[in-house]
Homo-oligomer: A and B are copies of this chain.
Amino acid sequence: MKECVLCSWNADGLVYASENWRVIMADEAGYPGFCRVIWNSHVAEMTDLDEKDRMELMCVVWLVEQCVRQVMRPDKINLASLGNMVPHLHWHVIPRYADDARFPDSVWSPTRRSVDERTIQERKNHLPELRRRLAEVLTAQYGPSRDL
């Protein structure tokens, strides 16, 4: 059996971890503020979780969405749980801007335009604030993060 990349933990971008899930700030080129919420155990689908766990995971997704909206001020939020490549439950929370490389297509669609590096950099400048805000909100809701 091939090792699952989401079963093995990786400190890259990790912001907060609970017993059941963790939140990371992904380093996706051109999409600063792209976050992931990963369920810790190896489960493929939302409906493989019981209702309590499903709700818990989704509430985290919404907290992350809220923080991303407040800090990154995107034109749109994209939420997705695909897992075709890695069938281990994880949510993408993606801030989208009308001038990003693929808008209004999905971030998995072909590129429509190139984006000025200064525009990307201005958005990147908010990442420390996003990290602080996520840690603060998640800690307020769920207590201290597990040791990372």
Interface residues of A (CB under 8 A from B): 44-47, 54-55, 58, 62, 65-66, 69, 76-85, 87, 96, 103-106, 108-110
Contact = CB atoms under 8 A, between A and B. Distances in A.
A66 B84 contact: no
B69 A45 contact: yes
A92 to B, nearest CB: 9
Contact of A106 (B46, B66, B79, B82): B82
Nearest to A58: B58
Contact of A65 (B47, B79, B82, B105): B47
Contacts of A66: 47
B69 A47 contact: yes
A83 B84 CA distance: 21
A81 B102 CA distance: 16
Contact of A46 (B62, B82, B105): B62
Contacts of A110: 110
Contact of A96 (B76, B84, B104): B84
Contact of A85 (B46, B104, B108): B104
Contacts of A80: 78-82, 106
A69 B96 CA distance: 30
